Amino acid sequence: MFISSENGIRIHDIKAIDSDTRLLACATPFIVTLEKLSIVRDIMSDFVGLEKCDKTTRGAVLDFSYNLALGNMDGAFKAIKLVQSSGVWSSLARMCVKTKRLDVAGVCLGHMGNAMAARAVRLAMSDDTLPHEAKVAVLAVHLGMLDEAEQLYIQCGRYDLQNKLLRSRNQMDAAHAVAESKDRINLKNTDHAWARSLEETGDFKEAAARYERANTHLYDVPRMLSDHPQQLQAYMSKTRDKEMLKWWGQYLESQGDMAAALKIYSDADDMYSQVRVLCFLGQETVAADLARTSSDKAAYYHMARYYETVGNYEEAVNFFTRATAYCNAVRLCKENHMVDDLWNLGIVVSNREKIEIAKYFEEMGDLEKAVVCTIEAVSCIKH
């Protein structure tokens, strides 16, 4: 506290003491108190590191403190420019936040030896996209003045940076409120960050709900619950997300539980996976009937490859045709001399396959069909 006739009473610093502590004296640079029948000497905040300073240094620090209490930054800076005390320079740096003097702040951070903060402030000052208040907020963050930094972000309308600051302080409710009202572009990012925070505390149920809101649940929920199989199964039994069900079916399949996997694939309307599992179980007739009821080309193609493997070329050609895999259908017909099927394919295939079919009939001596296929191919090219 400073008292002068010109400026009256000025509060410079406040020190909290216990209710049973009594102030005995103030003798620069010490505050003397009585604590439980013991006399305690505490160093004043501006004199940290200067406990044994000489009279000139002590006077300079007092001048600095007085000017700081008056808000006279230039006077405070001149008073201590030769004083080597990180505590004094830290006090001046904190005042730079209030006065928004980044030029002086750079000098203060240099005397404090805080290279990280100095670099951050220098980068912020060179960033033309940042408002001045946001640049000052960078200084405030590195000095631990987080409440002041938040207010600065609000003043310049950088709610995205306010949101980021709140998340770093683990104030997820406040961060989410800001995202919902003023920073919606980062709403899902905020939900994801909240979910990660909940996951770290072991609240998997709420974390899963937040991952769903962030639309990152397809990867993060299985990852989070991979070491908790019962909770994973409980979650999967309730979900109706088809992509999540597909993953769950693949997981059960990898564990060898084919029957359960088949049921999950059915719930997910994953026709291809159902056909694939049924073929693996030797139920190819059921798989073929199921594939015919759908329009899933992947299921058709799998059935075609399966029938080709077991030597049922007629069904293989049929399913290759349904899958519009005409190259494979033509290849199979040529390899097994399925002339009638090849002739039928000539109606639906592309020009390249028509030419291949024409060459095949020419080699087989059926010139009439070769000519017809060639004319069809040329006619399509002209049109």
Q: What average pLDDT does this structure show over 135-153?
A: 94
Would you place residue 62 in the very low, low, confident or very high pLDDT band (cuts 50, 70, 90)? confident
For residue 185, the model assigns a pLDDT of 94
> What residue has token string 């600065």?
152
CA atoms within 13 A on the CB side of 140: 23
Amino acid 369: pLDDT: 65
Tell me the CB-side half-sphere exposure of residue 306, using CA atoms within 13 A.
22
| Of 53-57, 290-294, 311-315, the least confident | 53-57
Tokens of 280: 């693996």
Does 29 sit behind a cis peptide bond, omega within 30 degrees of 0 on the bond before it?
A: yes
Greater confidence (362 vs 262) lies with: 262
Q: At what angle do helices 258-267 and 242-254 cross, to 10 degrees?
A: 170
**In this predicted structure, what is the pLDDT of residue 113?**
86
- Are the CB atoms for 24 and 37 separated by under 8 Å? no
Q: What is the pTM of this model?
A: 0.67
Give dist(CA 102, CA 121) in Å, integer: 8
Give Cβ neighbours of residue 256 (< 8 Å, ≥ 6 apart).
none
Question: 81-85 long-range contacts, Cβ below 8 Å, gap at least 24?
Answer: 83/50, 83/57, 84/111, 85/46, 85/47, 85/48, 85/49, 85/50, 85/61
The answer, yes or no, to whether residue 383 has pLDDT greater than 50, is: no
pLDDT in tens, 79-122: 777 666 676 778 778 878 877 888 878 888 888 888 999 999 99
Question: What is the residue whose two structure tokens read 């300079």?
Answer: 60
CB 172 within 8 A of CB 200: no
Please check the confidence at residue 11 and state whether its pLDDT lies above 80.
no
Whether 60 contacts 83, CB under 8 Å: yes
* 130: amino acid identity, one letter: L
Contact 215, 189 (CB under 8 A): no
Express as a percent the part of the chain with pLDDT over 70. 82
Cα–Cα distances (Å) from 208 to 19, 166, 171, 217, in that order, read 47, 21, 19, 7
pLDDT of residue 90: 80
Q: Assign 382 a pLDDT band (cuts: 50, 70, 90).
A: very low
Alpha helices in 239-350, H assignment, sequence order:
242-254, 258-267, 271-280, 284-292, 297-310, 313-322, 326-335, 339-345
Of 98-112, 164-178, 204-218, 353-367, give the lowest mean pLDDT range.
Answer: 353-367
pLDDT exceeds 90 at position 263: yes
Region 259-277: mean pLDDT is 93
What is d(CA 268, CA 249) in angstroms, rounded to the nearest whole number? 9
Tell me how far apart the alpha carbons of residues 87 and 227 are, in angstroms, rounded to a whole number: 49
Whether pLDDT at 166 is above 80: yes
- Answer whether residue 15 shows pLDDT above 80: no
Tens of pLDDT, residues 326-361 = 888 888 888 888 777 776 777 667 667 776 766 766
C-alpha–C-alpha distance, residues 280 and 266, integer Å: 16
Count of CB atoms within 10 A of residue 222's CB? 16
End-to-end Cα, the chain, rounded Å:
96
Share of the chain above pLDDT 90, in %: 48
* 359 vs 288: which has the higher pLDDT: 288
- 162-173 average pLDDT score: 95
Q: Is 139 exposed, middle or buried (0-12, 13-18, 19+ CB in 10 A)?
A: buried
Write down the pLDDT at residue 4: 66
Above 70 in pLDDT, residue 141? Answer: yes
Residue with tokens 């919902």: 180
Domains identified in the chain and CATH numbers: 270-332 (1.25.40), 346-383 (no CATH)
What is the distance of C-alpha 173 from the center of its chain?
18
Mean pLDDT rounded to a whole number for the chain: 83
Could you identify the residue written with the tokens 């049973």?
20
Q: Give kind and range of the element (H or E) at residue 18.
A: none
- What is the reported pLDDT for 330? 80
What pLDDT is recorded for position 42? 80
Q: How far apart are CA 3 and CA 288, in angstroms?
A: 96
- pLDDT mean over 268-272: 93
